[in-house]
């Protein structure tokens, strides 16, 4: 039954509940909170997802006005646009034109930039700006900032020993300035006047410790005989067989696996490149997973944390296990990736197949659905051969070089 103005005035939230929704017509409703607030909301679907559009606060926005706003939103939706996104865009454009300090523009840029990024990545970016850029440039009018100001800010970060961070902060500041150019707040981007290499030290190249192939047989035997937790032993075995990233392994969920098809499909939100990734599973990997499934007892995660089973094991678990086996400073979880890449390349496997299996390729949104399955047949053969090679190394038999079957 449609709402009336009287019903809106008298509406209260039942005791013990955080809020209650009073439905009007065509998915419009009034949300009444325990604190006494009354908020107009419209429920709609766009792109296959259910969404909510805020239409104002009662009584500042009357019932009639809320209905008018709903009807306008319905017309926008009927035209093929997302009314919620249009509202956010308008708000963003208004904020950009009203604010002209570096911090104000940077925060608007960040809201625009964060779309499609993980929460962790987005939070890290704004934290870095707040810690390193805003104290120096934040209150300055963005039109007054020069290349010298940007480099001075970055050098201050570098001077405390954070070379990589200095490069990242300078890059982000340049993106903010470029955004300001795009929205007619400044005429040109001063960051284009200098290259990071002109003023900052070279980035430190991050090398992950890893063993050579001659030391791999002993490592595999030590993993098989590992006396620590069974989850840790199985995690190391699966990492050696699949050479995925540590974060991709420890957060794996059973819903991602099809053991009958011998495939592990990692969703885009868990991948570094934010695109889906298929890991063909060798018979040896499937066997490890079957043992793990029996051990996990129906839990969602393959590798639950020791104390909280709803969270994955620590990303240091594998590293600490390797250290206990005598490989401190010589081998890391990431090292399995480097070893696999080196050995497979030396044995003549196609570079593109190895790189795709390592999920190194940058993939754009259009090609993501295609590329993540690219050369899957060849990669499946390669992964099975790799597992057989590890078996021979572990057993200590005469190792016959891998016989690549791809061009």
| Catalytic residue set | 245, 272, 334, 337, 360, 370
Give the C-alpha separation, 107 to 226, whole Å.
49
Q: Where are the alpha helices (DSSP H) in 139-282?
A: 147-158, 163-182, 196-199, 216-224, 230-242, 246-250
Q: Is 390 exposed, middle or buried (0-12, 13-18, 19+ CB in 10 A)?
A: buried
What are the beta bridge partners of residue 22? Answer: 30
Give the C-alpha separation, 167 to 194, whole Å.
12
Of 115, 156, 108, nearest to 133 by C-alpha is 156
Sign of CA dihedral 225, 298, 283, 311: negative
Buried b (16+ CB within 10 A) or exposed e, 348-364: ebbeebbebbbbeeebe
State the Cα torsion 216-220-221-227 to the nearest 10°.
130
For residue 53, the surrounding DSSP H or E stretch is strand 49-57
Give the C-alpha separation, 124 to 112, whole Å.
15
Q: Phi and psi of 222, rounded to 5°? A: -70, -35
Q: What is the radius of gyration, based on Cα positions, of the chain?
A: 28
Contact of 375 with 382, CB cutoff 8 Å: no
Count CA within 13 A, CB hemisphere, residue 331. 24
Give the C-alpha separation, 266 to 272, whole Å.
11
């Amino acid at each position: 039954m449609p709402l009336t103005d009287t019903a809106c005035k008298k509406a209260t939230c039942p005791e013990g509940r955080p809020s209650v929704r009073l439905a009007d017509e065509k998915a419009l409703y009034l949300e009444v909170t325990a604190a006494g607030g009354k908020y107009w909301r419209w429920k709609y679907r766009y792109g296959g997802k259910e969404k909510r559009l805020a239409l104002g606060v009662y009584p500042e926005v009357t019932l009639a006005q809320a209905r008018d706003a709903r009807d306008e939103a319905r017309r926008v939706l009927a035209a093929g646009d997302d009314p919620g996104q249009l509202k956010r865009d308008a708000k963003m454009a208004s904020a950009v034109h009203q604010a002209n300090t570096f911090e104000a523009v940077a925060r608007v840029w960040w809201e625009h930039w964060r779309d499609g990024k993980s929460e962790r990545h987005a939070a890290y970016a704004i934290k870095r700006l707040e810690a390193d850029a805003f104290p120096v440039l934040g209150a300055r009018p963005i039109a007054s900032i020069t290349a010298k100001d940007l480099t001075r800010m970055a050098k201050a970060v570098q001077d405390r020993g954070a070379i990589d961070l200095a490069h990242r902060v300078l890059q982000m500041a340049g993106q903010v300035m470029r955004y300001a150019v795009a929205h007619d707040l400044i005429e040109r981007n001063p960051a284009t006047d200098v290259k990071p290499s002109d003023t900052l030290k070279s980035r430190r190249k991050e090398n992950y410790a890893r063993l050579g192939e001659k030391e791999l047989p002993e490592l595999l035997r030590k993993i098989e005989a590992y006396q620590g937790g069974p989850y840790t032993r199985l995690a190391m075995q699966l990492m050696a067989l699949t050479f995925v990233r540590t974060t991709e392994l420890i957060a794996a969920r059973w819903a991602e696996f099809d053991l009958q098809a011998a495939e592990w499909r990692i969703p885009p939100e868990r991948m570094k490149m934010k695109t889906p990734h298929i890991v063909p599973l060798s018979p040896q990997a499937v066997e490890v997973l079957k043992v793990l499934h029996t051990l996990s007892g129906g839990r969602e995660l393959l590798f639950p944390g020791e104390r909280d089973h709803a969270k994955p094991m620590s990303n240091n678990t594998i590293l600490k296990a390797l250290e206990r086996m005598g490989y401190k400073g010589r081998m890391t979880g990431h090292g399995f990736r480097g070893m696999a890449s080196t050995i497979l390349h030396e044995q003549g496997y196609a570079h593109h197949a190895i790189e795709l299996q390592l999920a190194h390729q940058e993939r754009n949104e259009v090609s993501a659905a295609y590329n993540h399955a690219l050369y899957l047949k060849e990669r499946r053969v390669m992964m099975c051969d790799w597992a057989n090679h590890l078996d021979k190394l572990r057993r200590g038999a005469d190792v016959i070089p891998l016989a690549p079957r791809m061009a």
